Amino acid sequence: MQDRVEPPFWMQGNFAPVTEEVTAFDLPVEGAIPPELSGLYVRNGANPRHGQSSHWFLGDGMLHGVAIEGGKAQWYRNRYVRTPIFEGAPRHPLAGLDIRYALSNTSVIAHASRIMALVENALPMEISRELETRGFNDFGGRLATPCTAHPKICPTTGEMHFFGYRVIPPYLTYHVADAAGALIRSVEIPVKAATMIHDFALTARHAIFMDLPVVFDMPTAMAGSTMPFHWSESYGARLGVLPRGGGSESLRWIDIEPCFVYHVANAFEEDDGTIVLDVARYDEHWRDGPKRNAFDTASLTRWRIPPGATRAEETRIDDRSIEFPRIDERRIGVPHKAVYALATDGSLADGVFTELLKYDLTSGRVDARRFDGELPSEFTMVPAAEAAGEDEGWLMGYVYDRASATSDLVILDAGDIGGKPVARIRLPVRVPQGFHGTWIASEPRACGAAAR
């Protein structure tokens, strides 16, 4: 008799997928939803439609949304993103070279009256406010590379800055879409080889790219068994600093210690021109390739690049294992005080997330909310008003209750994350652990437009 093989962590507990698409109206609420909130909270994640996926990152995309208006939770919906893969396109090792062959399972962004589901190896997929799939957005045929799952919208110009990386040349291309959603710039960023590049940073004057030693692995890609990347001892690590509006000739490279980063909290420039980046930094990642029941750990780390420097200064802000760092997105590219992140007691595979942390980077204080008997997903910061202070508002995120096997959308006071939830919206189904979400505020009624 063969020994039973333990399922990978992404197919167990609250990582395991749900199979039914559900719509529910007039959701019960514990506490009181702030009347200022009017819009849609939506989060993306990997949710295999059939059987197991070969890695946590490779399940079909499923959106989970709650619409809020007038102090009420109007509806909950979960919907698969209708990608070519979902609709039955044949899977084969080289299909990933097609930027319309996608899972669209990582994040959601709203820009220029479009809502888009994103994954880093394909075009954005436009969705409706009701979470129905509309089709790929290739910016009128002008976008010829994938789009990162982590675009940055400049709060000053309204431009959307993003990049696409590929495993064939050009390996990395930087793009800018104007406030109306038209693609206005594309610049090739010269890198040495194909590497995994999940995120980047934006300041008021620069875009910063991370060229890190998790490299593409063709044999693994051809086998089609898991994520085709692994750690390289020889590749090195550096940051590419490009002036906004500049061409590749103005790019400069800054050396850093070898590491890997999925997520940047934010970046900004000090008065003397020093560039500062706060990131969730892994000392190494996938040294032996992706594993079924292990995931490396990251810590909140700051890089500083003084004017004229060729190597970044590095400071570990905290030793705790964290991921999904978020800020008030009105602070993208400018100095920030608060970073919110989820913490684990071990790795994702061992302990999943146990705490929500709030880092006050001015005072050094760290506030924590412990989730005993519950599993939180990423929280999104929603300002109370456009002119509100940086931590005046609410944090929203899905939380799973182990005892009842149900999930809630939990709303916390961003200024008191350890206090009683402002509201807990009861959901009719379990929401699996997922990736990234966003708050999409309703447009003023006078505009007669759909929610952005």
Residue type, 411: I
Give the residue with greater pLDDT, 418 vs 444. Answer: 418
The pLDDT of 343-359, averaged and rounded, is: 83
Report which DSSP code applies to 137: -
**Which residues carry a binding-site annotation?**
150, 198, 263, 436
Q: Return the pLDDT at 53.
A: 87
For residues 418 and 412, what is the distance between their CA atoms, to the nearest angstrom?
8
The pLDDT of 344-354, averaged and rounded, is: 75
Helices (runs of H) and strands (runs of E) counted in the chain: 2, 33
Tell me if 402 sits within 8 A of 9, measured CB to CB.
Answer: no
Residue type, 119: V
Give the residue with greater pLDDT, 162 vs 288. Answer: 162
The pLDDT of 169-195, averaged and rounded, is: 97
Q: Return the pLDDT at 446.
A: 37
Q: Return the pLDDT at 449.
A: 35
Longest dimension (CA), the chain: 69
Percent of all residues in the chain with a pLDDT value above 90, rounded to a whole number: 83
The pLDDT of 49-73, averaged and rounded, is: 93
The pLDDT of 427-432, averaged and rounded, is: 96
Tell me if 285 sits within 8 A of 231, measured CB to CB.
Answer: yes
Q: Return the pLDDT at 409.
A: 98
Instruction: Give the SS3 label for residue 239.
Output: strand
Q: Give the lowest-confidence range in 111-125, 163-177, 317-331, 348-362.
A: 348-362
What DSSP letter does each residue of 20-82 carry, written as one string? ---EEES--EEE---TT--EEEEEEEE--SSS--SSGGGSPEEEEEEEEETTEEEEEEEEE--
Residue type, 228: P
Count of alpha carbons within 13 angstroms of residue 192, beta-carbon side: 15
Residue 452's pLDDT band, with cuts at 50, 70 and 90, is very low
Q: 61: which 2 tokens?
A: 């995309």
For residues 337 and 364, what is the distance between their CA atoms, to the nearest angstrom?
10
For residues 337 and 415, what is the distance between their CA atoms, to the nearest angstrom?
12
pLDDT at 411 over 80: yes
What DSSP letter does each residue of 82-118 carry, written as one string? --TTTTTPPP-GGGGGSTT-----SEEEEETTEEEEE
**Which residues carry a binding-site annotation for Fe cation?**
150, 198, 263, 436
183-188 and 214-216 beta bridge pairing: unpaired
Tell me if 166 sits within 8 A of 145, measured CB to CB.
Answer: yes
Q: Cα–Cα–Cα angle for 22, 431, 63, nearest 5°?
A: 65
Q: What are 123-172's pLDDT values in tens digits?
A: 999 999 999 999 999 999 999 999 999 999 999 999 999 999 999 999 99
Q: Measured in whole angstroms, how far is the alpha carbon of residue 110 from the centre of its chain?
A: 13
pLDDT at 224 over 80: no
Burial of 372 (0-12, 13-18, 19+ CB in 10 A): exposed
Q: Give the lowest-confidence range in 289-298, 370-379, 427-436.
A: 289-298
Residue 3's pLDDT band, with cuts at 50, 70 and 90, is low
For residues 238 and 431, what is the distance between their CA atoms, to the nearest angstrom?
37
pLDDT at 93 over 80: no
For residues 414 and 122, what is the distance between their CA atoms, to the nearest angstrom?
34
**Which of 384, 371, 359 has its CA nearest to residue 421?**
371
The pLDDT of 50-70, averaged and rounded, is: 93
Q: Cα–Cα–Cα angle for 104, 69, 76, nearest 5°?
A: 40
Q: Return the pLDDT at 350.
A: 57
Q: What are 6-55's pLDDT values in tens digits?
A: 888 889 899 999 989 999 999 999 999 999 999 999 999 999 998 888 88
Tell me if 214 sits within 8 A of 278, measured CB to CB.
Answer: no
| Average pLDDT of the chain, as a whole number | 93
pLDDT at 383 over 50: yes
Residue 352's pLDDT band, with cuts at 50, 70 and 90, is confident
Count of alpha carbons within 13 angstroms of residue 54, beta-carbon side: 11
pLDDT at 88 over 90: no
Give the residue with greater pLDDT, 286 vs 324. Answer: 324
H/E/C letters for each residue in 423-437? EEEECCCCCCCCCCE
Percent of all residues in the chain with a pLDDT value above 70, rounded to a whole number: 94
Q: Measured in whole angstroms, how far is the alpha carbon of residue 236 from the centre of its chain?
A: 25
**Which of 268, 318, 277, 276 has its CA nearest to residue 298?**
318
Q: Return the pLDDT at 443.
A: 76
The pLDDT of 288-298, averaged and rounded, is: 79
